[in-house]
Structure 1
């Protein structure tokens, strides 16, 4: 979502689903897991809209649908890729919308090679590092978005500015006829040509007729006077290929002209209260609060050059300089001045992936000393629970904050690996600190819901005994760390010393 639209959040709000002419739900059992929002889906159905549920399981959402299509688990990309091909081969795209509001006419670098050219991989692949360089993926004449390291990944990748103009300020070259062999549209057409209805049926386990019903329903419900919507939840985001699934759905909605119009869009249903809010704060490794890009260790540009490189040339992200300076002033106060670039050099630089599963792998290899677990339970809540628990056993220390002793806190004496003998408590060196947390009723704060509506709430009661909020915990942790480096003359301690932690 971030790559496609600049923000990793829903492009529409749930109430607007009542205006949709067709709603496709995938990766979600919305009727049971989001019943309040599902009322607007039922409003649309009562108005005559088609409701299609594509899922490996028949659930209550399926029972309420106009059509249920069962597919194999993990076959989502093949199914969605088939819809892209159906749109392109049948010339069903919204031509005016695609030419004016998407990058379909833009011409890509001549050095770009697709999977058909390289036997299943894109150009820029490093077989040793198993990562991609994005230098050949740019618009013709445009500088690559990063001078080093892999491009950001995940649903939130692509947040923020990211100028779409060339270095000299002129717009990239386009072919308004969409016929240039290197324009985005033609590259898309070649790439998805393999996803025929027969291929989809064979890959997904559905029938050709079922697939065609979904594809045609979407096309019929899209255009100048109609719109269709996609709804998904963690059934997509928690896939190892979740980014590609969501990206493919975004391509469909852009081709059909369903973004930014009543009843259209992609609604990302979150799996827990204020998950969208944690993104906005953010708790993401590769962005700063407000979706500002995190500087990379291989990009040593001074602040003014960094801003010019990454801010957009139109829209709200044209004010990226104001956003960044405001953040730096908030963190370092009077110490942040124009003379020292508002302490921009004090910001940490990312040097690798650092996402959750990458970190788990680093833990397994003994490269991580400690971990603080807040608001999640990776021992059973993340993919490959066995790997998660084995990784926890490699740590020197582990801090778990929760309402009750969760499986992540008790992995060292109560887990499948303990029962099987694969792990033994007396051989696990991880020191576990379990700290009681407070509930949302016991703390002030904000909630950002699925449709990105932010609401402030006040605590109803004081937390009991030693239970404390995350804000209390991190504030006092920061205060104690500041006290430790109070008299230090080491320059590396200055960012912490001058932090406005009042």
Structure 2
């Protein structure tokens, strides 16, 4: 979330698309209802008439997998009806920037310029800006980048800032405005309604209401979750929502945000720590084996020429000092050579890991805190693959489908042939351990231990800690191909002889390395208050730079009750409902990201009654931590206010937000592509699915693709209140099983009538990948849609069941979706695929 839960109450219009927040994120409703009480409008766009839709002002059904078409049509509507917040976009986005004349897009093929048919990848050079001038970094003693010449900082050639050409008149055909206007002109009301299966008049009403938030005195919020992300164009889906919000001036302002609704299992924290093959903690990129073989190459390849990410060398060196401690020195580039170098992150994704298991390349696997044989797409293929492992280690509170894959009903006759040695490590539950969790709004809170772990269970941190100690001992005694990274890792997370999460908290917070040896032995470290204190000379250590300061308290670093994460202050300056003294919101306890954009170019708030920051002529008045340089040191070392400028998005090297971007692998502007399996042809371009789609050529999916003639129904998966995630914990609660005892699929009355299905009948859903039997829920909540002139039915399937629970069992819904992936983040496509339907 770019803001906070409470900030939802400041919205004039809320648009829920890709989530069911009333049911799956119920705390949001406290603040949505406050907005509604003040006269806000709430729009819900969803394949089903959900519990959220039941409370909304407007409900608009949509065919799963067509979100880019829907929002692309909204962009076209913004341009056609002059709803853009022009002043905001001109000063704070790249709307005026000129793109390389070689850039093009061909609707006939669905391809952008630079496509390589052989590699199935883009050369993105034509997606870059035209250059007005170039500027070198000032590394002189008084320059902004003097730190690059400090002793201990690894040598590298600073990047050259290429200032983009701009056209303030917005008339040049190569400016972003003209390119976008042309690109989305194809997304007409007729075309979008035909693709999405929407009523044209209702679609226009939704566009009209939401785009009114482009007025400077209005604000709109978009709420989304897995309904937007679990597609092979998932990143394109989130990007196009960002573009809509930027065009309307809805980012950085009170009541205007892009609200990614995170789940309870610390999803935000996992994202921040980058449990992902392509990124390190704090959204640093893993070194590439091609471009980043040395620390000099990493700095030169990864460091942008401007913006706050220009401090990336400070973040990396501090990370290395945290990781390798005293063994990380300037002489060995702080242990950079010990870091793994990744060839292609997509090859290391969880989906592709099963391909490598099948090929015998991966011999063993650790599954911590996940149940992929229940939650990953094409799960039947995964069950038949995982048995190729020599060994598997699994930690969980329960025996899950992954931990007992040989017990699957379709694996019984294969069990004797499985060679995998499985180690099950019982783990403590959330109430049986202490530590921080990071929830929606980037809010970090300390969770206290309420109970002792059950039986022989241990906190997962303890398990990993002991496991690493034993591995280090083996390498120390027996050697290995490359023992240096293992033996040189700093691994001293004990207090009073026991593993302690507070020491992890200190590492995440950051500290001065000169104090580390003495202070950490006495368990009273002097922690850094801000990431502005991080250095690239080895004098600071920090495992996750965005968390710097979250645990800082000089009184007693042992006591979380007085740390930032445990604060309970209810003060609400500015009546913004962002409560800056409640817990800690990374980065720097900032509640509204990009809050410089809440004011015009002169520093005056767009809304006088909702002031986040304001320039009074001599200094900045702040009700939130500024997300910009509000003050800087003069030659005397004193802080002086910095007058307003247009640098509202300081993490971008342009310091303007990107409407057009060359950062992604598949599209500089989001373009509608049909799901991998779709009931119709692509009506907007000549490429059926995303040309850059991942894994579609692998035999596990290529041989199981279904055509709409065979499998005519569009399926989507979803969760609901009574059961959670893969169902392991909630199915152990008898009351929840009584409330929702059966796995089911939801279908409309028209489809049920055609198939002779009645409520409660057992039905079979099937395609070439799998077949499941569930009960039928026949409702009016999923209406048939007219898609490209053809009546199209959608079926919703809950996925919180499996065979491993002792009380309530069911089939694996995720046997049905295809295991294809997004080329940028590798996420699977679970929200739109084809199935057949019959009475069981």
TM-score in terms of structure 2 length: 0.53
Following superposition, the deviation at residue 490 of structure 1 comes to: 6.5
- For 1:490 and 1:395, the matched residues in 2 are separated by 21
Following superposition, the deviation at residue 304 of structure 1 comes to: 4.2
Following superposition, the deviation at residue 121 of structure 1 comes to: 1.8
Change in Cα spacing, 1:232 to 1:491, as seen in structure 2 (3 Å) is same
Q: Secondary structure at the match of 1:171?
A: strand
Following superposition, the deviation at residue 28 of structure 1 comes to: 0.9
Residue of structure 1 in register with 2:765 after alignment: none
Residue of structure 1 in register with 2:436 after alignment: 446
Residue of structure 2 in register with 1:460 after alignment: 450
Residue of structure 2 in register with 1:370 after alignment: 364
- For 2:129 and 2:486, the matched residues in 1 are separated by 40
Aligned runs of 1:173-184 on 2, under 5 Å? 173-184=165-176
Residue of structure 2 in register with 1:221 after alignment: 213
CA contact (8 A) 1:54 1:69 kept: yes
Q: Secondary structure at the match of 1:260?
A: coil
Following superposition, the deviation at residue 312 of structure 1 comes to: 4.1
- For 1:137 and 1:367, the matched residues in 2 are separated by 37
Residue of structure 1 in register with 2:476 after alignment: 486
Whether 2:83 is the aligned partner of 1:92: answer: yes
Residue of structure 1 in register with 2:6 after alignment: 15
Q: Secondary structure at the match of 2:324?
A: helix
Which of the residues 94, 97, 100 maps onto 1:106?
Answer: 97
Which of the residues 360, 368, 374 maps onto 2:354?
Answer: 360
Residue by residue over 1:23-54, the C-alpha shift from the partner in whole angstroms, topping out at 9 and shown as x without a partner, is: 00011111111111211011111111110000
Following superposition, the deviation at residue 457 of structure 1 comes to: 1.8
CA contact (8 A) 2:83 2:214 kept: no
How many residue pairs match? The answer is 465
Change in Cα spacing, 1:488 to 1:373, as seen in structure 2 (3 Å) is closer
Residue of structure 1 in register with 2:510 after alignment: none
Whether 2:382 is the aligned partner of 1:388: answer: yes
Change in Cα spacing, 1:81 to 1:394, as seen in structure 2 (3 Å) is farther
Which of the residues 450, 462, 465 maps onto 1:472?
Answer: 462
Q: Secondary structure at the match of 2:482?
A: helix
- For 2:462 and 2:4, the matched residues in 1 are separated by 32
Residue by residue over 1:290-340, the C-alpha shift from the partner in whole angstroms, topping out at 9 and shown as x without a partner, is: 221211111136424533543345554232222111111111112212222
Residue by residue over 1:97-124, the C-alpha shift from the partner in whole angstroms, topping out at 9 and shown as x without a partner, is: 11111122222233333243x7112233
Change in Cα spacing, 1:263 to 1:346, as seen in structure 2 (3 Å) is same
Residue of structure 1 in register with 2:406 after alignment: 412
Which of the residues 59, 63, 73 maps onto 1:82?
Answer: 73
Query: After the TM superposition, which of the residue ranges 349-358 and 443-452 deviates more from structure 2?
Result: 349-358
Residue of structure 2 in register with 1:130 after alignment: 120
- For 1:270 and 1:216, the matched residues in 2 are separated by 29
CA contact (8 A) 1:115 1:191 kept: no
Following superposition, the deviation at residue 283 of structure 1 comes to: 0.9
CA contact (8 A) 1:25 1:53 kept: yes
Q: Secondary structure at the match of 1:362?
A: helix
Q: Secondary structure at the match of 1:360?
A: helix
Aligned runs of 1:54-73 on 2, under 5 Å? 54-73=45-64
Aligned runs of 1:234-313 on 2, under 5 Å? 234-300=226-292, 302-313=294-305
Q: Which runs of 5+ in 1 are unaligned?
A: 1-9, 143-165
Residue of structure 2 in register with 1:197 after alignment: 189
Change in Cα spacing, 1:386 to 1:134, as seen in structure 2 (3 Å) is farther
Change in Cα spacing, 1:45 to 1:460, as seen in structure 2 (3 Å) is same
Following superposition, the deviation at residue 491 of structure 1 comes to: 7.5
Q: Secondary structure at the match of 1:407?
A: coil
- For 1:125 and 1:357, the matched residues in 2 are separated by 25
Query: After the TM superposition, which of the residue ranges 320-329 and 297-306 deviates more from structure 2?
Result: 297-306
Q: Secondary structure at the match of 1:412?
A: helix
Whether 2:489 is the aligned partner of 1:499: answer: yes
Change in Cα spacing, 1:214 to 1:476, as seen in structure 2 (3 Å) is same
Q: Secondary structure at the match of 1:447?
A: strand
Residue of structure 1 in register with 2:422 after alignment: 432
CA contact (8 A) 1:234 1:270 kept: no
Q: Secondary structure at the match of 1:35?
A: coil
Change in Cα spacing, 1:110 to 1:393, as seen in structure 2 (3 Å) is farther
Residue by residue over 1:387-437, the C-alpha shift from the partner in whole angstroms, topping out at 9 and shown as x without a partner, is: 33233233332222111111111221224x326x6xx11223333222211
Residue by residue over 1:146-165, the C-alpha shift from the partner in whole angstroms, topping out at 9 and shown as x without a partner, is: xxxxxxxxxxxxxxxxxxxx
Following superposition, the deviation at residue 277 of structure 1 comes to: 0.5
- For 2:125 and 2:293, the matched residues in 1 are separated by 18
Q: Secondary structure at the match of 2:164?
A: coil
- For 1:184 and 1:342, the matched residues in 2 are separated by 42
Change in Cα spacing, 1:197 to 1:401, as seen in structure 2 (3 Å) is same
TM-score in terms of structure 1 length: 0.87
Q: Secondary structure at the match of 1:296?
A: coil
CA contact (8 A) 2:83 2:215 kept: no
- For 1:54 and 1:400, the matched residues in 2 are separated by 39
Residue of structure 1 in register with 2:34 after alignment: 43
CA contact (8 A) 2:44 2:60 kept: yes
- For 2:383 and 2:115, the matched residues in 1 are separated by 32
CA contact (8 A) 2:432 2:452 kept: yes
Following superposition, the deviation at residue 273 of structure 1 comes to: 2.8
Following superposition, the deviation at residue 61 of structure 1 comes to: 0.4
